[in-house]
Amino acid sequence: MRRIVIASAFVLAFVAARQRAVIHPAPPPAVLGGPTFSKEVVRVFQDRCQSCHHPGDIAPFSLMTYADAAPHVDAIKYMTQTRQMPPWKATPACGDFADARVLAQDEIDLISKWVDNGAPEGNVADLPPMKNFDGGWALGQPDLVLSYPETYTPPVTGDTYRCFPIPTALPNDTYVSAIDIKPGDRQTVHHVIAYVDTTGASQKLDDDAAGAGYTCFGGPGFTISSLGAATLGGWAPGARPSMLPENVALSLPAQSRVVLQVHYHPQGIKTIPDQTQIGIYFAKKKPEQLVYILPLINQTFTIPPNDPDYKVTASVTAAWPVHLYLIAPHMHLLGRKMNVMATMPGGEQKCLINVDDWDFNWQGMYQFSEPLTIPFGSKLSLEASYDNSEGNWRNPNVPPKAVSWGEQTTDEMCIAFLGVTLDGVTLDQTPPSQAVFRPTK
């Protein structure tokens, strides 16, 4: 088996662009009256780029200031013209999403013109107020930052799932509008899920295990709600945080523990100590309804070797009317496409999300601009495509071999996580005991 190397297209193209810059002549002098960083370009960066391109976050360099951006102008022009940046995998014809990181053509042209004109800084008096990324957090300083008290160094080989229970010490029930997760070692952390434990069962599991945390393949190791109320969401490479609307929130009960399930996938000859953090943003007011995270999932598939376009499907029927607030597709290295649809009881179809160029490095939770009404009896379905051929440079197996559902990075998954509220169920009402989504017969 060859070693998996998850390479960022941004880095490759950036290097190529810098190499081209070495042999190109000096840029022309700035054109009087043309776009400048201070007046026009920085505003585009603020709207589309800085949520990743600020110190301490996922991007390889900052775009907060002119001094940050100036050394990289060739790469910026190339990556925006080819629409590789900003990374946004949902196709525009399917789903209306909030905070879409997509450049309009006039914004791309503006950046190109700025670079071609010598990338002038302009008058600093034209600069807008700088965006605030306190402590490197994309949404600013969280209300609560949690991490495990001691570092954990995963084994050098194989995949490790480790759960870390962290007391919140919250005296009252609390409601959460957003979370953000900072992996301690981005090269090794494959993904993180934040569970909520109200019983203390996770602490007993931790006490009985040696070292920090405890092993937890397949889940957190303790019973969680079938409604998905026992999770705050999660993180995968490329995921960006966003705030829920003020009338809805996730639940974090008093004196509960947040349990971070961290999947480690080492890619080098050694690992370093990890101490992943979760930042929690509290709702500013008491919400009207809770958001539940439910999976649309297929776990019973096997992708045959040498098939470049193997299809996997899943479907459920809404056994309770819901409103859909967010959606998050998830696959591993063989994934290439995923389309999720809703078919209403009368036959009307609505495209929820379509990803036609899946990249494991750029996953995300997509929040709809307005929640979608999903009536009782609606069918939710997904179709995913996988490339298990030698033509897939991400394929971890040479030669290709059969791959099924599994917890290892070299296995595969097929999930669309759905964030929903239950119609007619307010914050003070007990949610139904029945399943909200049932497998379609």
User: Residue 18 pLDDT more than 60?
Assistant: no
Amino acid occupying residue 325:
Y
Share of the chain above pLDDT 70, in %: 91
The pLDDT score that the predictor gives to residue 4 is: 37
pLDDT at 227 over 90: no
Name the residue with tokens 């992996």: 183
Mean pLDDT of 197-208: 94
Question: Given this model, what pLDDT does residue 276 score?
Answer: 95
Q: Which residues of 99-136 are buried (b: 16+ CB within 10 A; e: fewer)?
A: ebbebeeebbebbbebbebebbbbeeeebeeeeebeee
- Mean pLDDT score, 300-305: 98
Single-letter code of the amino acid located at 429: Q
Reduced to 3 states (helix: H, G, I; strand: E, B; else coil), residue 241 is coil
Q: Is the pLDDT of residue 17 over 70?
A: no
Question: Over the stretch 339-375, which tens digit does the pLDDT of each residue have?
Answer: 999 999 999 999 999 999 999 888 889 999 999 999 9
Measured distance CA(308)–CA(387) in Å, rounded: 4
Strands 403-404, 289-290: pairing is unpaired
Mean pLDDT value across residues 156-180: 94
For 298, other C-beta atoms within 10 Å of its C-beta total: 17
> Chain-wide mean pLDDT for the chain?
89
Each residue of 399-424: pLDDT tens digit? 999 999 998 889 999 999 999 999 99
Mean per-residue pLDDT for 14-43?
62
Q: Is 100 helix (H, G, I), strand (E, B) or coil?
A: coil
pLDDT tens, residue by residue, 270-296:
889 999 999 999 999 999 999 999 999
Domain boundaries, the chain: 9-131, 288-441
- Adjacency order of strands within the sheet including 257-264: 214-215, 160-167, 257-264, 189-197, 231-235
Question: What is the pLDDT averaged over residues 67-88?
Answer: 94
pLDDT class of 229 with cuts at 50, 70, 90? low
Residue 389 to residue 361: CA distance in whole angstroms: 20
> Which architecture does CATH list for 288-441?
Sandwich (2.60)
Token readout for 425 is 């169920």
What band does 9 get if pLDDT is binned at 50, 70 and 90? very low
CA–CA dist 403, 422 (Å, integer)? 36
Kindly report which listed range (60-64, 100-104, 413-417) carries the lowest average pLDDT score.
Answer: 100-104
pLDDT for position 225: 66
Task: Kindly tell me if the per-residue pLDDT of 136 is higher than 60.
Answer: yes
What pLDDT does residue 132 have? 86
CA distances from 246 to 30, 177, 294, 300, 400 (A): 46, 7, 21, 38, 48
Most confident of the following: 3-7, 67-71, 101-105, 190-194: 67-71
What pLDDT is stored for residue 32 in this prediction? 57
Answer yes or no: is pLDDT of 21 > 70: no
On the question of pLDDT at 25 being above 60, the answer is no
Cβ partners under 8 Å of residue 354, min gap 6? 90, 91, 93, 94, 95, 337, 338, 339, 340
pLDDT for the residue 118? 95
Query: Tell me, what's the pLDDT at 228?
Result: 59
Considering the entire predicted model, what is its pTM?
Answer: 0.85
The CA-CA-CA angle for residues 50, 54, 60, to 5°, reads: 105
Residue 152 DSSP label: B
